[in-house]
Amino acid sequence: MTFKEAGNDWEIVRDRLENLTDYTLLDLSSGNDDCNFIIAKKQDKQRIYTLADQLGLWVD
């Protein structure tokens, strides 16, 4: 699946990735209009959110 096939909706891509694998897609906000994504293991998602919060970063 591509972003184009998902209507450029990254959450659809994330949901499909999570349903088919042990991974998730996280959106990192830099404060600009650019898109920054990382692929991480689902088991690490909460740890990444905690670290991002400690660093003052926005991760969705």
7-19 pLDDT, tens digit each? 888 888 899 999 9
**Residues of the domain holding 48:** 3-59
User: Helix, strand or coil for residue 33?
Assistant: coil
15-46 pLDDT, tens digit each? 999 999 999 999 888 676 677 889 999 999 99
**pLDDT value for 56:** 87
Sign of the alpha-carbon dihedral angle for 20, 22, 27, 30? negative
Is the CB of residue 16 less than 8 Å from the CB of residue 7?
no
* pTM, to two decimals: 0.75
Q: How many domains does the chain have?
A: 1
**pLDDT value for 7:** 86
Angstrom distance (rounded) from CA 53 to CA 50: 5
Q: Report helix, strand and coil shares of the chain as percent, to nearest 5.
A: 40, 25, 35
